[in-house]
Structure 1
Amino acid sequence: MPTIKSSYLGNLRTESEHLQSGTKILTDAPVDNNGKGEAFSPTDLVASALGSCMVTIMGIIAARENISLEGLNWEVTKIMQANPRKIEEIKVDFTWEVPVNNSVFIQKLKNAAKTCPVALSLDPAIKQTLNFNF
Structure 2
Amino acid sequence: MSTIKSSYLGELRTKSVHIASQDTIISDAPLDNNGRGEAFSPTDTVAGALGSCMVTIMGIIARREGQDMEGLSWEVTKAMQSNPRKIAEIIIEFNWDQPFEDEKLIKKMKNGAKTCPVALSLHPDIKQTVIFNF
Q: CA RMSD in A?
A: 0.4
Structure 1 stretches of at least 4 aligned residues deviating more than 6 Å after TM superposition: none
Q: What is the CA–CA distance in structure 2 between the aligned matches of 1:118 and 1:99, rounded to whole Å?
A: 24
1:102 Cα deviation after fit: 1.4
- Residue of structure 2 in register with 1:87 after alignment: 87
Q: What is the CA–CA distance in structure 2 between the aligned matches of 1:84 and 1:8, rounded to whole Å?
A: 24
Taking structure 1 as the reference length, the TM-score comes to 0.99
Q: What does 1:4-83 align with in structure 2 at a 5 Å threshold?
A: 4-83=4-83
1:101 Cα deviation after fit: 1.1
In structure 1, what residue type is equivalent to 2:127?
A: K
1:107 Cα deviation after fit: 0.3
Deviations 1:33-81 (A, max 9, x none): 0001000000000000000000000000000000110000000000000
In structure 2, what residue type is equivalent to 1:4?
A: I
Taking structure 2 as the reference length, the TM-score comes to 0.99
SS of structure 2 residue aligned to 1:69: coil
Q: What is the CA–CA distance in structure 2 between the aligned matches of 1:97 and 1:85, rounded to whole Å?
A: 37
Q: What is the CA–CA distance in structure 2 between the aligned matches of 1:96 and 1:18, rounded to whole Å?
A: 31
Is 1:116 aligned to 2:108, yes or no?
no
Residue ranges of structure 2 left out of the alignment (5+ in a row): none
| Identity percentage of aligned residues | 68
- Residue of structure 2 in register with 1:107 after alignment: 107
